[in-house]
Amino acid sequence: MKSQLTHNLSEILPDVADEIAVAFDETLDLTENEWKCVPVLETVEKVACRAGNRAFVGYPLCRDSDWIELNTQLTNSIVKEGLLLSLFPKFMMPLAARFATKTTDRVKRGAQHLAPIITERLKHMKAYGKSWNDKPDDFLQWCLDEGKETSADLLAARMFAINFAASHTSSNTFAQTLYCLAANPQYVQSLREEVQTTIGKDGWTKEALAKMRKVESFLKELQRFEGNASLGIKRRALKDITLSDGTFIPKGTYICVASHAIHRDPRIYDDPDVFDPYRYTKLQDEQGDDSRYQLVSVSPESLMFGIGKAVCPGRFFAAMMLKLMFVHVILSYDLRLGDISYPASVCMGPAIVANPSAKVMLRRRCDE
Ligand code: HEM
Protein backbone atom coordinates (compact mmCIF):
# COMPACT_ATOMS: atom_id res chain seq x y z
CA MET A 1 0.00 0.00 0.00
CA LYS A 2 2.74 2.39 1.05
CA SER A 3 4.53 2.35 -2.30
CA GLN A 4 1.63 1.89 -4.74
CA LEU A 5 -0.86 4.31 -3.17
CA THR A 6 1.72 7.01 -2.54
CA HIS A 7 3.44 6.68 -5.94
CA ASN A 8 0.16 6.76 -7.83
CA LEU A 9 -1.25 9.89 -6.18
CA SER A 10 -1.04 12.00 -9.37
CA GLU A 11 -2.86 9.33 -11.39
CA ILE A 12 -5.69 8.77 -8.90
CA LEU A 13 -6.17 12.44 -7.96
CA PRO A 14 -8.72 13.26 -10.74
CA ASP A 15 -10.88 10.25 -9.80
CA VAL A 16 -10.78 11.04 -6.08
CA ALA A 17 -11.61 14.73 -6.78
CA ASP A 18 -14.52 13.64 -8.98
CA GLU A 19 -15.84 11.30 -6.27
CA ILE A 20 -15.64 14.05 -3.65
CA ALA A 21 -17.63 16.47 -5.83
CA VAL A 22 -20.34 13.91 -6.69
CA ALA A 23 -20.50 12.54 -3.12
CA PHE A 24 -20.93 16.01 -1.57
CA ASP A 25 -23.54 16.90 -4.19
CA GLU A 26 -25.60 13.74 -3.64
CA THR A 27 -25.22 13.66 0.15
CA LEU A 28 -25.97 17.35 0.74
CA ASP A 29 -28.78 17.53 -1.84
CA LEU A 30 -28.89 21.35 -1.63
CA THR A 31 -31.65 23.42 -3.17
CA GLU A 32 -30.40 26.43 -5.14
CA ASN A 33 -29.09 29.16 -2.79
CA GLU A 34 -31.02 27.98 0.27
CA TRP A 35 -29.32 27.37 3.61
CA LYS A 36 -29.54 23.79 4.85
CA CYS A 37 -28.81 22.44 8.33
CA VAL A 38 -26.35 19.61 7.73
CA PRO A 39 -25.32 16.83 10.17
CA VAL A 40 -21.55 17.13 9.80
CA LEU A 41 -20.06 13.83 10.94
CA GLU A 42 -22.67 11.71 9.14
CA THR A 43 -22.15 13.67 5.89
CA VAL A 44 -18.37 13.66 6.05
CA GLU A 45 -18.24 9.92 6.85
CA LYS A 46 -20.08 9.14 3.62
CA VAL A 47 -18.02 11.52 1.48
CA ALA A 48 -14.64 10.40 2.89
CA CYS A 49 -15.61 6.73 2.60
CA ARG A 50 -16.65 7.15 -1.04
CA ALA A 51 -13.50 9.15 -1.85
CA GLY A 52 -11.25 6.57 -0.20
CA ASN A 53 -13.02 3.67 -1.86
CA ARG A 54 -12.72 5.27 -5.29
CA ALA A 55 -8.98 4.69 -4.77
CA PHE A 56 -9.36 1.33 -2.99
CA VAL A 57 -11.97 -0.55 -5.06
CA GLY A 58 -12.79 1.90 -7.85
CA TYR A 59 -16.02 2.97 -9.55
CA PRO A 60 -18.87 1.86 -9.35
CA LEU A 61 -18.42 -0.13 -6.09
CA CYS A 62 -17.35 3.07 -4.29
CA ARG A 63 -20.93 4.32 -4.80
CA ASP A 64 -22.72 1.16 -3.72
CA SER A 65 -24.84 1.99 -0.67
CA ASP A 66 -24.31 -1.41 0.99
CA TRP A 67 -20.51 -1.29 0.51
CA ILE A 68 -20.42 2.25 1.92
CA GLU A 69 -22.65 1.28 4.87
CA LEU A 70 -20.40 -1.72 5.62
CA ASN A 71 -17.29 0.45 5.59
CA THR A 72 -18.63 3.51 7.42
CA GLN A 73 -19.85 1.27 10.25
CA LEU A 74 -16.62 -0.70 10.34
CA THR A 75 -14.72 1.30 12.97
CA ASN A 76 -17.64 1.47 15.41
CA SER A 77 -18.43 -2.21 15.01
CA ILE A 78 -14.84 -3.38 15.40
CA VAL A 79 -14.21 -1.17 18.44
CA LYS A 80 -17.41 -2.43 20.14
CA GLU A 81 -16.62 -6.06 19.30
CA GLY A 82 -13.05 -5.60 20.57
CA LEU A 83 -14.34 -4.23 23.91
CA LEU A 84 -16.70 -7.16 24.28
CA LEU A 85 -13.96 -9.63 23.42
CA SER A 86 -11.61 -8.08 25.98
CA LEU A 87 -14.00 -9.24 28.73
CA PHE A 88 -13.04 -12.86 28.01
CA PRO A 89 -9.87 -14.54 29.35
CA LYS A 90 -7.13 -14.91 26.72
CA PHE A 91 -7.54 -18.68 26.27
CA MET A 92 -11.24 -18.24 25.43
CA MET A 93 -10.77 -15.47 22.90
CA PRO A 94 -10.58 -17.57 19.68
CA LEU A 95 -13.85 -19.28 20.63
CA ALA A 96 -15.51 -16.08 21.89
CA ALA A 97 -14.52 -14.28 18.67
CA ARG A 98 -16.75 -16.65 16.71
CA PHE A 99 -19.81 -15.55 18.70
CA ALA A 100 -18.95 -12.02 19.87
CA THR A 101 -17.80 -10.60 16.53
CA LYS A 102 -19.40 -10.34 13.11
CA THR A 103 -16.12 -10.69 11.21
CA THR A 104 -17.24 -13.74 9.21
CA ASP A 105 -20.57 -12.17 8.19
CA ARG A 106 -18.84 -8.93 7.29
CA VAL A 107 -16.25 -10.64 5.11
CA LYS A 108 -18.98 -12.72 3.42
CA ARG A 109 -21.04 -9.59 2.69
CA GLY A 110 -17.97 -7.76 1.36
CA ALA A 111 -16.87 -10.75 -0.73
CA GLN A 112 -20.27 -10.85 -2.45
CA HIS A 113 -19.58 -7.34 -3.74
CA LEU A 114 -16.01 -8.08 -4.77
CA ALA A 115 -16.40 -11.54 -6.35
CA PRO A 116 -17.93 -10.45 -9.70
CA ILE A 117 -15.45 -7.57 -10.01
CA ILE A 118 -12.48 -9.86 -9.32
CA THR A 119 -13.73 -12.45 -11.86
CA GLU A 120 -14.08 -9.76 -14.54
CA ARG A 121 -10.65 -8.31 -13.83
CA LEU A 122 -8.95 -11.73 -13.80
CA LYS A 123 -10.55 -12.43 -17.21
CA HIS A 124 -9.04 -9.21 -18.57
CA MET A 125 -5.64 -10.03 -17.06
CA LYS A 126 -5.73 -13.45 -18.72
CA ALA A 127 -6.75 -12.01 -22.07
CA TYR A 128 -4.57 -8.88 -22.22
CA GLY A 129 -1.70 -9.46 -19.79
CA LYS A 130 -0.41 -6.57 -17.72
CA SER A 131 -2.20 -3.67 -19.39
CA TRP A 132 -5.29 -2.88 -21.40
CA ASN A 133 -7.39 0.18 -22.21
CA ASP A 134 -9.22 1.50 -19.14
CA LYS A 135 -7.38 -0.86 -16.80
CA PRO A 136 -8.55 0.07 -13.26
CA ASP A 137 -5.95 1.95 -11.23
CA ASP A 138 -6.94 1.15 -7.65
CA PHE A 139 -5.77 -0.77 -4.58
CA LEU A 140 -7.82 -3.85 -5.53
CA GLN A 141 -6.13 -4.02 -8.94
CA TRP A 142 -2.67 -3.51 -7.44
CA CYS A 143 -3.35 -6.50 -5.15
CA LEU A 144 -4.47 -8.60 -8.15
CA ASP A 145 -1.41 -7.53 -10.17
CA GLU A 146 0.79 -8.77 -7.33
CA GLY A 147 -0.81 -12.17 -7.89
CA LYS A 148 -0.63 -13.30 -4.25
CA GLU A 149 -4.31 -12.94 -3.34
CA THR A 150 -7.22 -13.52 -5.68
CA SER A 151 -9.86 -14.92 -3.32
CA ALA A 152 -12.82 -12.58 -2.71
CA ASP A 153 -12.79 -13.38 1.04
CA LEU A 154 -9.12 -12.51 1.48
CA LEU A 155 -9.42 -9.36 -0.60
CA ALA A 156 -12.57 -8.29 1.25
CA ALA A 157 -10.66 -8.63 4.54
CA ARG A 158 -7.80 -6.60 3.04
CA MET A 159 -10.18 -3.84 1.84
CA PHE A 160 -11.75 -3.70 5.31
CA ALA A 161 -8.31 -3.39 6.89
CA ILE A 162 -7.43 -0.36 4.76
CA ASN A 163 -10.89 1.16 5.30
CA PHE A 164 -10.54 0.65 9.05
CA ALA A 165 -7.26 2.59 9.05
CA ALA A 166 -8.45 5.26 6.62
CA SER A 167 -12.11 6.04 7.18
CA HIS A 168 -12.55 7.12 10.79
CA THR A 169 -9.27 9.05 10.98
CA SER A 170 -9.99 11.01 7.80
CA SER A 171 -13.66 11.73 8.50
CA ASN A 172 -12.98 12.67 12.12
CA THR A 173 -10.31 15.14 11.02
CA PHE A 174 -12.47 16.59 8.27
CA ALA A 175 -15.55 16.95 10.51
CA GLN A 176 -13.39 18.93 12.97
CA THR A 177 -12.19 21.01 9.99
CA LEU A 178 -15.73 21.87 8.89
CA TYR A 179 -16.74 22.93 12.42
CA CYS A 180 -13.68 25.11 12.61
CA LEU A 181 -14.25 26.69 9.19
CA ALA A 182 -17.93 27.35 9.99
CA ALA A 183 -16.89 29.02 13.26
CA ASN A 184 -14.21 31.11 11.51
CA PRO A 185 -15.74 32.39 8.24
CA GLN A 186 -13.25 35.30 8.27
CA TYR A 187 -10.60 32.96 6.82
CA VAL A 188 -12.67 31.73 3.87
CA GLN A 189 -11.92 34.61 1.47
CA SER A 190 -8.13 34.37 1.73
CA LEU A 191 -8.27 30.58 1.39
CA ARG A 192 -10.50 30.90 -1.70
CA GLU A 193 -8.10 33.37 -3.28
CA GLU A 194 -5.14 31.04 -2.74
CA VAL A 195 -7.02 28.05 -4.14
CA GLN A 196 -8.35 29.92 -7.19
CA THR A 197 -4.95 31.42 -8.05
CA THR A 198 -3.15 28.09 -7.70
CA ILE A 199 -5.68 26.06 -9.66
CA GLY A 200 -5.81 28.81 -12.32
CA LYS A 201 -2.06 28.35 -12.87
CA ASP A 202 -1.52 24.61 -12.28
CA GLY A 203 -4.97 23.02 -12.72
CA TRP A 204 -6.22 20.21 -10.48
CA THR A 205 -2.84 18.59 -9.93
CA LYS A 206 -0.77 17.24 -7.07
CA GLU A 207 1.65 20.13 -7.69
CA ALA A 208 -1.18 22.66 -7.27
CA LEU A 209 -2.20 21.08 -3.95
CA ALA A 210 1.43 21.26 -2.79
CA LYS A 211 1.50 25.01 -3.46
CA MET A 212 -1.59 25.77 -1.33
CA ARG A 213 0.33 26.86 1.74
CA LYS A 214 -2.61 28.39 3.61
CA VAL A 215 -4.76 25.32 3.03
CA GLU A 216 -1.90 23.09 4.18
CA SER A 217 -1.26 25.19 7.28
CA PHE A 218 -4.97 25.36 8.20
CA LEU A 219 -5.27 21.56 8.09
CA LYS A 220 -2.04 20.91 10.00
CA GLU A 221 -2.95 23.45 12.67
CA LEU A 222 -6.38 21.86 12.97
CA GLN A 223 -4.75 18.46 13.56
CA ARG A 224 -2.41 19.99 16.16
CA PHE A 225 -5.22 21.86 17.90
CA GLU A 226 -7.84 19.05 17.88
CA GLY A 227 -6.41 15.69 16.79
CA ASN A 228 -7.74 12.13 16.89
CA ALA A 229 -6.25 10.93 20.17
CA SER A 230 -4.75 12.24 23.39
CA LEU A 231 -2.37 9.26 23.50
CA GLY A 232 -0.53 7.88 20.48
CA ILE A 233 2.48 5.82 19.38
CA LYS A 234 1.43 2.76 21.35
CA ARG A 235 4.35 0.35 21.63
CA ARG A 236 5.64 -2.56 23.75
CA ALA A 237 9.28 -2.68 24.82
CA LEU A 238 10.84 -5.82 23.30
CA LYS A 239 13.91 -5.51 25.53
CA ASP A 240 15.02 -3.56 28.63
CA ILE A 241 15.69 0.08 27.68
CA THR A 242 17.29 2.91 29.64
CA LEU A 243 16.46 6.35 28.23
CA SER A 244 18.99 9.21 28.09
CA ASP A 245 17.47 10.76 31.25
CA GLY A 246 17.95 7.49 33.19
CA THR A 247 14.34 6.29 32.95
CA PHE A 248 14.34 2.49 32.93
CA ILE A 249 11.70 0.68 30.84
CA PRO A 250 11.63 -3.08 31.51
CA LYS A 251 11.08 -5.53 28.66
CA GLY A 252 7.37 -6.15 28.02
CA THR A 253 6.18 -2.70 29.23
CA TYR A 254 3.41 -1.10 27.20
CA ILE A 255 4.15 2.56 26.54
CA CYS A 256 2.47 5.40 24.68
CA VAL A 257 3.10 9.09 24.11
CA ALA A 258 0.90 11.95 25.35
CA SER A 259 0.73 13.39 21.84
CA HIS A 260 -2.09 15.88 22.45
CA ALA A 261 -0.26 17.35 25.47
CA ILE A 262 2.85 17.73 23.28
CA HIS A 263 0.79 19.52 20.61
CA ARG A 264 -0.44 21.97 23.27
CA ASP A 265 2.92 22.44 25.04
CA PRO A 266 3.84 26.17 25.43
CA ARG A 267 7.55 25.22 25.41
CA ILE A 268 7.06 24.02 21.83
CA TYR A 269 4.25 26.17 20.41
CA ASP A 270 3.56 29.88 21.02
CA ASP A 271 0.03 30.36 22.37
CA PRO A 272 -0.70 26.64 21.99
CA ASP A 273 -4.33 26.95 23.06
CA VAL A 274 -5.08 29.42 20.28
CA PHE A 275 -6.14 28.10 16.87
CA ASP A 276 -3.89 30.04 14.51
CA PRO A 277 -4.66 28.76 10.97
CA TYR A 278 -1.54 30.26 9.42
CA ARG A 279 0.86 29.21 12.22
CA TYR A 280 2.80 26.88 9.89
CA THR A 281 2.88 29.35 6.96
CA LYS A 282 4.43 31.89 9.32
CA LEU A 283 6.94 29.34 10.63
CA GLN A 284 7.91 28.49 7.04
CA ASP A 285 8.36 32.19 6.22
CA GLU A 286 10.48 32.74 9.35
CA GLN A 287 12.60 29.62 9.16
CA GLY A 288 12.63 28.93 5.43
CA ASP A 289 12.30 25.20 5.96
CA ASP A 290 9.57 24.01 3.65
CA SER A 291 9.31 20.32 4.36
CA ARG A 292 9.23 20.38 8.18
CA TYR A 293 5.87 22.12 8.29
CA GLN A 294 4.12 20.11 5.60
CA LEU A 295 0.94 18.29 6.50
CA VAL A 296 2.60 14.89 6.03
CA SER A 297 5.78 15.69 7.97
CA VAL A 298 6.24 14.07 11.35
CA SER A 299 8.62 14.96 14.17
CA PRO A 300 8.69 14.55 17.98
CA GLU A 301 6.68 17.82 18.14
CA SER A 302 4.25 16.87 15.37
CA LEU A 303 2.78 13.45 16.06
CA MET A 304 -0.57 13.58 14.25
CA PHE A 305 0.42 10.68 11.98
CA GLY A 306 2.61 8.92 14.54
CA ILE A 307 6.36 8.54 14.08
CA GLY A 308 9.04 5.91 13.50
CA LYS A 309 8.71 2.49 11.90
CA ALA A 310 4.90 2.36 12.22
CA VAL A 311 4.29 5.97 11.08
CA CYS A 312 1.01 6.21 9.15
CA PRO A 313 1.78 4.88 5.64
CA GLY A 314 -1.49 6.37 4.31
CA ARG A 315 -0.65 9.96 5.28
CA PHE A 316 0.23 11.10 1.75
CA PHE A 317 -3.11 9.83 0.48
CA ALA A 318 -4.89 11.22 3.57
CA ALA A 319 -3.34 14.66 3.02
CA MET A 320 -4.42 14.66 -0.62
CA MET A 321 -7.96 13.62 0.26
CA LEU A 322 -8.27 16.17 3.10
CA LYS A 323 -7.02 18.95 0.83
CA LEU A 324 -9.35 17.97 -2.01
CA MET A 325 -12.36 17.89 0.35
CA PHE A 326 -11.35 21.22 1.91
CA VAL A 327 -10.83 22.89 -1.47
CA HIS A 328 -14.17 21.56 -2.74
CA VAL A 329 -16.02 22.98 0.28
CA ILE A 330 -14.26 26.35 0.07
CA LEU A 331 -14.97 26.73 -3.65
CA SER A 332 -18.53 25.38 -3.64
CA TYR A 333 -20.29 26.40 -0.43
CA ASP A 334 -20.87 29.12 2.14
CA LEU A 335 -21.06 27.79 5.67
CA ARG A 336 -21.80 29.07 9.16
CA LEU A 337 -22.45 27.62 12.60
CA GLY A 338 -26.10 28.70 12.88
CA ASP A 339 -27.40 29.17 16.43
CA ILE A 340 -25.04 26.77 18.14
CA SER A 341 -21.74 27.50 19.86
CA TYR A 342 -18.52 25.84 18.71
CA PRO A 343 -19.12 22.05 18.66
CA ALA A 344 -16.31 20.79 20.84
CA SER A 345 -14.78 17.39 20.20
CA VAL A 346 -15.66 14.65 22.67
CA CYS A 347 -13.07 12.59 24.58
CA MET A 348 -13.80 8.84 24.73
CA GLY A 349 -10.93 7.27 26.64
CA PRO A 350 -7.83 8.30 24.69
CA ALA A 351 -9.85 8.94 21.50
CA ILE A 352 -10.75 12.51 20.53
CA VAL A 353 -13.91 12.34 18.46
CA ALA A 354 -15.43 15.16 16.38
CA ASN A 355 -18.77 16.20 17.88
CA PRO A 356 -21.01 13.36 16.66
CA SER A 357 -24.33 15.20 16.56
CA ALA A 358 -23.68 18.88 15.71
CA LYS A 359 -24.96 20.46 12.51
CA VAL A 360 -23.72 23.43 10.48
CA MET A 361 -25.57 25.65 8.01
CA LEU A 362 -24.50 25.21 4.38
CA ARG A 363 -25.62 26.63 1.04
CA ARG A 364 -24.30 26.80 -2.48
CA ARG A 365 -21.77 29.62 -2.75
CA CYS A 366 -23.48 32.90 -3.61
CA ASP A 367 -20.74 35.42 -4.49
CA GLU A 368 -19.48 33.90 -7.79
C1 HEM B 1 -6.28 12.21 8.81
C2 HEM B 1 -6.14 10.93 8.53
C3 HEM B 1 -5.23 9.97 9.25
C4 HEM B 1 -4.62 10.08 10.47
C5 HEM B 1 -4.69 11.25 11.45
C6 HEM B 1 -3.86 8.86 10.68
C7 HEM B 1 -3.09 8.62 11.80
C8 HEM B 1 -2.42 7.43 12.03
C9 HEM B 1 -1.65 7.15 13.21
C10 HEM B 1 -1.46 8.11 14.39
C11 HEM B 1 -1.15 5.89 13.08
C12 HEM B 1 -0.26 5.16 14.11
C13 HEM B 1 1.20 5.52 13.85
C14 HEM B 1 2.16 5.11 14.93
O15 HEM B 1 1.83 4.25 15.75
O16 HEM B 1 3.30 5.65 14.97
C17 HEM B 1 -1.61 5.37 11.81
C18 HEM B 1 -1.33 4.10 11.33
C19 HEM B 1 -1.77 3.62 10.13
N20 HEM B 1 -2.49 4.30 9.15
FE21 HEM B 1 -3.15 6.21 9.31
N22 HEM B 1 -4.03 8.04 9.60
C23 HEM B 1 -4.85 8.68 8.69
C24 HEM B 1 -5.26 8.21 7.46
C25 HEM B 1 -4.90 7.01 6.92
C26 HEM B 1 -5.27 6.56 5.60
C27 HEM B 1 -6.10 7.37 4.61
C28 HEM B 1 -4.75 5.32 5.44
C29 HEM B 1 -4.81 4.39 4.26
C30 HEM B 1 -4.96 4.79 3.03
C31 HEM B 1 -4.03 4.98 6.67
C32 HEM B 1 -3.36 3.80 6.90
C33 HEM B 1 -2.71 3.48 8.09
C34 HEM B 1 -2.12 2.17 8.38
C35 HEM B 1 -2.15 0.94 7.46
C36 HEM B 1 -1.54 2.26 9.65
C37 HEM B 1 -0.80 1.13 10.43
C38 HEM B 1 0.69 1.25 10.20
C39 HEM B 1 1.50 0.17 10.95
O40 HEM B 1 1.04 -0.32 11.98
O41 HEM B 1 2.59 -0.16 10.47
N42 HEM B 1 -4.15 6.04 7.53
N43 HEM B 1 -2.37 6.33 11.18
DSSP 250-311: -TT-EEEE-HHHHHT-TTTSSSTTS--TTHHHHHHHHH--TGGGSTT--BTTB-TT--GGGS
The answer on pLDDT for 288 being more than 90 is no
Mean pLDDT over 111-122 rounds to 98
What range does the domain containing 111 cover?
2-221+312-364
Nearest atom (ligand 1) to Cα of 229: 10
The percent of residues above 90 in pLDDT, for the chain, comes to: 83
Centre of ligand 1 to C-alpha 152, Å, is 24
Beta strands 254-257 and 232-236 are antiparallel
More reliable by pLDDT, 116 or 340: 116
Mean pLDDT over 44-51 rounds to 97
Residue 228 lies in a domain: no
Main-chain phi, psi angles of 333, to 5 degrees? -130, 155
Cα–Cα distance, 236 to 255 (Å, whole number) = 6
Residue 280 lies in a domain: no
Tell the residue nearest (CA) to atom 37 of ligand 1. 312
Mean pLDDT over 333-362 rounds to 92
- Close Cβ partners of 173 (under 8 Å, ≥ 6 residues apart): 219, 222, 223, 226, 228, 318, 322, 354
Mean pLDDT over 279-293 rounds to 88
Average pLDDT score over the chain: 94
The residue to mutate among 75, 143, 315, having the most atoms of ligand 1 within 8 angstroms of its beta carbon, is 315
Determine whether the shortest distance from the Cβ of 140 to ligand 1 is under 6 A: no
Nearest atom (ligand 1) to Cα of 322: 1
Minimum mean pLDDT range among 63-67, 249-253, 287-291, 298-302: 287-291
Tell the residue nearest (CA) to atom 32 of ligand 1. 314
Nearest atom (ligand 1) to Cα of 227: 5
Determine whether the shortest distance from the Cβ of 233 to ligand 1 is under 6 A: yes
Convert the pLDDT of each residue in 237-283 to its tens digit: 999 999 999 999 999 999 999 999 999 999 999 999 999 999 999 99
Please tell me the predicted confidence (pLDDT) of residue 86. 86
The answer on pLDDT for 12 being more than 70 is yes
Determine whether the shortest distance from the Cβ of 257 to ligand 1 is under 6 A: no
8 Å CB contact between 281 and 214: yes
Tell the residue nearest (CA) to atom 2 of ligand 1. 170
Residue 195 lies in a domain: yes
More reliable by pLDDT, 32 or 245: 245
Residue 267 lies in a domain: no
Please tell me the predicted confidence (pLDDT) of residue 281. 95
When pLDDT is cut at 50, 70 and 90, the band that residue 1 belongs to is low
Determine whether the shortest distance from the Cβ of 170 to ligand 1 is under 6 A: yes
The answer on pLDDT for 368 being more than 70 is no
Residue 227 lies in a domain: no
The answer on pLDDT for 2 being more than 70 is no
- Close Cβ partners of 252 (under 8 Å, ≥ 6 residues apart): 236, 237
Convert the pLDDT of each residue in 144-197 to its tens digit: 999 999 999 999 999 999 999 999 999 999 999 999 999 999 999 999 999 999
Centre of ligand 1 to C-alpha 314, Å, is 6
Nearest atom (ligand 1) to Cα of 161: 35
Q: Is 312 annotated as a binding residue?
A: yes
Cα–Cα distance, 48 to 240 (Å, whole number) = 42
- What is the interface pTM, i.e. ipTM, of the complex? 0.98
Residue 298 lies in a domain: no
Residue 233 lies in a domain: no
Nearest atom (ligand 1) to Cα of 310: 41
Q: Give the total number of structural domains in the chain.
A: 1
User: Any idea what the CATH number is for the domain that residue 319 is in?
Assistant: 1.10.630.10
Residue 286 lies in a domain: no
